């Protein structure tokens, strides 16, 4: 469940303004000519050829379309992600905090630790395995069983999304709530964040957040009930009862909303992407079928090749030179996790999907440093469970050639739909 340590991209109209006058902006365009030509269509569509050109010639480039810098080289990405003092998330331009309040998403330093620490133990590998691995495997098997007899499915709607929602509901103590209700809350809140940030390409109207406020109030009421009920193993009740210096009820709810964002959006994407990669490479799929132990590395390789969250944002707190680029205090510095994952200096033959790649797990799909994704272990478990359930139950599983799929999106990248087919008929029991 990759909790979004960063939020949706803002685009022109979203309120991000770089410091400096027209002369400086012209100088940046002249100094970074490749970045100057990049469009939102480039970033949201066939992204990787653009990133390849930038990484080779302008590894930190000024992109006017973003109003900020884009980092595409892995070593520079690590420098930015590790240095929260110079490159912070704590900036009023982050629109998520305007909808749900301050959280681990939008804070750095001691306050970030105060918001994150009460949740950290539950998301460590041992805790996730003990509390959620069996549930996740069972839920993935149940979902696949529900459509196994049909011979065809759209996996984003039928498996990836429902599995992500079910696991988030289990984590937050909302297992008794209709998953469709949870998803509706999520859609409203994320829609408001996008509108505030200008992610639709339009300014936010006066009523843009009305539905989100109502959805967040309903989510908050349900979460307050969970906190009040307490009970052994309640993550939210434990966070609210952390004692002096711990979180207030409203802060617990804000962080729970962040976990919901990450647990649905990016986990759904990583499941779709790994299935798309495997089914698009029959030879690699054959290796995984012959050796199911390769599923784990196949997930890592997919995360490297096409991370579900393509970029994360930081803001410079001081003037600094970054790979030769003159970053100024207040500038947006976006780290391309997608670009870092295909850096040929670290990943030989970087555009090839290789389930046996020795260093695939060194991808940066879950970011790095203080904001490393809290739910990384759980997200991996979900993706592995989904792939294992599909391969176990659906013989001859393949992409539907009549409905091709490709990842898209500026920030969150996944296929809009993922249609598959298989040999219908009696199947092995789940």
d(Cα 30, Cα 24) in Å, to the nearest integer? 10
Q: What is the pLDDT of residue 74?
A: 98
- Token pair 């600094």 in the structure block, residue: 320
Would you state the pLDDT for residue 1?
Answer: 43
Query: For residues 31 and 201, is the Cβ–Cβ distance under 8 A?
Result: no
Separation CA 256–CA 227 (nearest Å): 11
Structure tokens at 288: 């995984």
DSSP code, position 152: E
Q: Which two tokens stand for residue 83?
A: 């240095």
Q: What is the pTM of this model?
A: 0.90
- Please give the sequence-ordered ranges of beta strands (E in DSSP) within 8-63, or none if there are none: 60-63
Token pair recorded at residue 292: 């199911």
- Residue position matching structure tokens 């340590």: 5
What is the spatial distance between Cα 315 and Cα 296, in angstroms, rounded to a whole number? Answer: 34
* Closest residue by Cα to residue 140 from 119, 120, 170: 170
pLDDT tens per residue across span 80-121: 999 999 999 999 887 777 778 899 999 999 999 999 999 998
pLDDT single digits (tens) 129-176: 998 999 999 999 999 999 999 999 999 999 999 999 999 999 999 988
Tell me how far apart the alpha carbons of residues 310 and 112 are, in angstroms, rounded to a whole number. Answer: 23
- Determine contact, residues 253/228, Cβ cutoff 8 Å: no
User: Cα separation of 280 and 285, whole Å?
Assistant: 8
Phi and psi torsions of 219, nearest 5°: -60, -45
From CA 119, how far away is CA 256, in angstroms rounded? 9
Inter-residue contact 295 to 288 (CB < 8 Å): yes
pLDDT score, position 245: 64
- Is the CB of residue 18 less than 8 Å from the CB of residue 67? yes
Residue recorded with tokens 């010639």:
57
Residues with pLDDT less than 70, the chain: 1-20, 193-210, 242-245, 425-430
Domains, the chain: 22-421 (1.10.630.10)
Distance CA 249, CA 223 (A): 9
What's the rounded Cα separation, in Å, for the pair 365 and 372? 9
In the chain the first and final C-alpha atoms are separated, in Å, by: 24
Query: Counting beta carbons within 10 angstroms of the beta carbon of residue 377, is it exposed (0 to 12), middle (13 to 18) or buried (19 or more)?
Result: buried
């Amino acid at each position: 469940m990759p909790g979004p340590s960063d939020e949706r991209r803002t685009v022109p109209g979203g309120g991000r303004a770089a410091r400096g006058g027209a002369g400086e902006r012209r100088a940046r365009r002249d100094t970074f000519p490749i970045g100057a030509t990049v469009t939102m269509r480039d970033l949201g569509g066939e992204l990787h050829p653009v990133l390849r050109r930038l990484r080779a010639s302008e590894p930190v480039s000024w992109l006017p379309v973003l109003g900020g810098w884009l980092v595409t080289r892995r070593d520079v990405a690590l420098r930015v992600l590790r240095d929260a003092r110079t490159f912070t998330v704590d900036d009023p331009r982050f629109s998520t905090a305007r909808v749900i309040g301050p959280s681990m998403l939008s804070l750095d330093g001691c306050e970030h630790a105060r918001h994150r620490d009460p949740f950290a133990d539950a998301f460590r590998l041992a805790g996730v395995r003990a509390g959620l691995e069996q549930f996740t495997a069972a839920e993935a098997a149940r979902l696949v069983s529900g459509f196994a007899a049909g011979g065809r499915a759209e996996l984003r709607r039928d498996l990836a999304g429902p599995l992500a929602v079910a696991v988030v509901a289990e984590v937050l103590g909302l297992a008794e709530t209709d998953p469709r209700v949870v998803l509706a809350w999520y859609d409203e809140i994320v829609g408001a964040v996008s509108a505030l940030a200008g992610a639709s390409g339009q300014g936010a109207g006066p009523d843009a957040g009305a539905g989100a406020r109502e959805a967040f109030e309903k989510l908050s009421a349900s979460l307050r009930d969970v906190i009040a009920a307490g009970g052994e193993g309640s993550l939210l009740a434990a966070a609210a009862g952390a004692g002096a210096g711990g979180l207030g009820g409203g802060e617990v709810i804000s962080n729970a909303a962040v976990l919901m964002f990450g647990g649905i959006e990016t986990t759904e994407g990583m499941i779709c992407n790994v299935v798309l990669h495997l089914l698009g490479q029959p030879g690699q799929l054959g290796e995984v079928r012959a050796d199911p132990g390769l599923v784990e590395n196949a997930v890592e390789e997919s995360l490297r090749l096409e991370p579900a969250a393509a970029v994360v944002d930081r803001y410079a707190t001081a003037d600094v030179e970054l790979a030769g680029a003159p970053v100024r205090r207040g500038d947006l510095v976006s780290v391309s996790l997608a670009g870092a994952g295909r850096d040929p200096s670290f990943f030989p033959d970087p555009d090839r999907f290789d389930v046996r790649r020795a260093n695939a797990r060194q991808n940066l799909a879950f970011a790095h440093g203080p904001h490393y994704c809290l739910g990384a272990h759980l997200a991996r478990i979900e993706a592995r469970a989904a792939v294992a359930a599909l391969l176990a139950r659906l013989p001859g599983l393949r992409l539907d050639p009549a409905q091709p799929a490709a990842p898209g999106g500026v920030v969150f990248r996944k296929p809009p739909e993922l249609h598959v087919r298989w040999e219908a008929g009696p199947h092995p029991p789940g």
